[in-house]
Structure 1
Amino acid sequence: MSEELPVIGAALASRMLEIHRDWILERQRDLEIQDFFSAEVLDSDWSPIAEKIKGLLDGYTGRLGIHGPFWGFKIDSQDPLIRAVVTKRLMQGLDACEAIGATQMVVHSPYTTWDYQNLDNNPGSRDQLIERVHQTLDPVVARAEDQGVELVIENIEDMDPNDRVELVYSFDSQAVRVSIDTGHAHLAHSTHGAPPVDYYVDAAAEMLAHIHVQDVDGYADRHWLPGEGTINWRAVFRAVGRLKVKPRLIIEVKDQVNLRRGAAHLEALGLVV
């Protein structure tokens, strides 16, 4: 029976990969490397980091991804100069994917709480937002397709889970899919009345390719271990179980040293292995 349960993976900085390497490799767990979203890293010689990661992953045959750049920008900027910088940063992320053999990159959603309340206040705003995202991402998507990388768009402030799904469908590309962050969804639900986390899973359906698993208390973006906050994990994983696809399941928490305690909590609930 346990073999039918999803296998939980982790988002790790390369320095933490050494600690959890055996746990990752024992089930070839989904893995997301979190070194390459920093501008300081991307603008430096990061080849030693890539070589270290490849060495630590000798024997790894699981699904490998990275968290793409996100600090300091949005992918729907109205300023064409800013859009050019964003495109460059995401191309640098794809450089890192190529260097370590990653096949997925997380990109942050453009939708904000303000958007939810105002996009329909100005006719055409929804289509204009999607067009600006395309102006930023189209060259990135074209390269991702050639490179065999999925770009997964993660909810940040998203209030309506369908907005991001519509955005993903607009690309009509196998290289663009939906990501869900459970903590971000629960925070939007708790503070602004967005749907609960399982609704985000159901809305994404077959477009869902990636889940950040983290717990919150409904007040802040805690990135706590599962079990430390107030998310209804049984409801979340029931929704995951209804899917026809198998999204990458990634525990993404601040306490990476004790990350496996969060995995153990979900395992004790009979939800993952």
Structure 2
Amino acid sequence: MTDAASVPLPTLGAAMPARMLAHYRDWLIDGQRDLEIQDFVKVEVLNGDWKTLAAEIKKQLSGHSGRLGIHGPFFGFTIDTMDPDVRDVVKKRMMQGLDACEEIGATQMVVHSPFTTWDHNNFDNKPGSMDDAIGRVHAVLGEAVKRAEAIGVTLVIENVEDIDPRWRVRLAESFGSEQVRVSIDTGHAHYAHGSTGAPPVDYFMVAAGNMLEHVHLQDADGYADRHWVMGEGTIRWASVFRALSALTSNPRLILELRDHTRILEAADYLVKAGLAR
């Protein structure tokens, strides 16, 4: 029998823009914590002088050996777009995100799920609709997946409106690639649970299983995408971490808050609850 007390607690990481790195440098390096850079979601960054930003990121992270990732671009499109002209733009954005990964040494990129509340209510209304959607995602991400495999980056598909937590697992598995896995945003899952009838957050963890390699940790109220500090919302954190403890995929646990100045406060909540370090 394994002594629960002997099992090491998972280590918390955080998501932040590059401008916050100096503020959190000691916390990140002392714990060699996982980090997610948020700047590369912006078109003005991707189309601008992003290599200067990348150089500053690398400078700030000297001595950091935690796992590094980025949030990939997502504004203004879905990865299952039906429009072939828009598809070309999305392909470009994915490649720009992977360029940034390669430049800073990131090994993970978050992309947003294409599945909507409308899909949940209508996929069965037209047989084959989900397979068609998966085919459109392959048309968009196929080249990016090959590039990710070549440079050692894993694309993790994050739930947004997803009601059925198994859909993203099916989508990720359809690529047959170790570089496509699943992400869970706890606040998005809690919104879907409270507002659209999705299962609770820990069920999302169970459904993902060892395909789960990334988690956005944020508290919420089940109504909106709050990105609150833990304890301000109504997520049952003990159930979430129990579900996580059953996995062997070692997902990155990334605090993703609206107020970046409160990252240590959020971390302290989970540490004091005995759930993480």
TM bracket (short chain): over 0.9
Matched, 1:154 2:148: no
Which amino acid in structure 1 is aligned with residue 96 of structure 2? Q
TM-score (normalizing by structure 1): 0.99
- Give the whole-Å Cα distance in 1 for the aligned partners of 2:215 and 2:6: 20
Alignment partner, residue 78 of structure 1: 82
The Cα shift of 1:3 comes to: 7.0
2:260 aligned counterpart, secondary structure: coil
Which amino acid in structure 2 is aligned with residue 138 of structure 1? G
- Give the whole-Å Cα distance in 2 for the aligned partners of 1:175 and 1:113: 27
Matched, 1:102 2:106: yes
Matched residue pairs, number? 273
Matched, 1:206 2:210: yes
Which runs of structure 2 are paired with 1:141-220 in the superposition (5 Å)?
141-220=145-224
- Give the whole-Å Cα distance in 2 for the aligned partners of 1:195 and 1:184: 12
- Give the whole-Å Cα distance in 1 for the aligned partners of 2:158 and 2:268: 25
Contiguous gaps of at least 5 residues in structure 1: none
Which amino acid in structure 1 is aligned with residue 80 of structure 2? D
Moved more, 219-228 or 208-217: 219-228
1:54 aligned counterpart, secondary structure: helix
The Cα shift of 1:244 comes to: 1.7
The Cα shift of 1:262 comes to: 0.4
Matched, 1:234 2:238: yes
The Cα shift of 1:123 comes to: 1.1
Which amino acid in structure 2 is aligned with residue 246 of structure 1? N
Alignment partner, residue 267 of structure 1: 271
Q: Which runs of structure 1 show a deviation greater than 2 angstroms over 4 or more consecutive aligned residues?
A: none
2:213 aligned counterpart, secondary structure: strand
Alignment partner, residue 120 of structure 1: 124
Q: Deviation string for 1:171-224 (max 9, x for gaps)?
A: 000110000000000000001110000000000001000000001011210111
In structure 2, relative to structure 1, the CA distance for the partners of 1:2 and 1:56 (3 Å cut) is farther
Which amino acid in structure 2 is aligned with residue 233 of structure 1? W
- Give the whole-Å Cα distance in 2 for the aligned partners of 1:23 and 1:211: 19
2:243 aligned counterpart, secondary structure: helix
The Cα shift of 1:227 comes to: 1.2
The Cα shift of 1:55 comes to: 0.4
Which runs of structure 2 are paired with 1:36-75 in the superposition (5 Å)?
36-75=40-79
- Give the whole-Å Cα distance in 2 for the aligned partners of 1:268 and 1:114: 40
Q: Deviation string for 1:121-163 (max 9, x for gaps)?
A: 0111010000000000000000000000000000000000001
Which amino acid in structure 1 is aligned with residue 90 of structure 2? V
- Give the whole-Å Cα distance in 2 for the aligned partners of 1:127 and 1:41: 34
The Cα shift of 1:2 comes to: 7.9
- Give the whole-Å Cα distance in 2 for the aligned partners of 1:2 and 1:253: 30
The Cα shift of 1:226 comes to: 1.2
Which amino acid in structure 2 is aligned with residue 207 of structure 1? M
Contiguous gaps of at least 5 residues in structure 2: none
Q: Deviation string for 1:29-55 (max 9, x for gaps)?
A: 010000101001100011111111000
The Cα shift of 1:64 comes to: 0.2
CA-based RMSD: 0.9
- Give the whole-Å Cα distance in 2 for the aligned partners of 1:244 and 1:44: 39
- Give the whole-Å Cα distance in 2 for the aligned partners of 1:113 and 1:40: 30
Alignment partner, residue 252 of structure 2: 248
% identical equivalent positions: 60
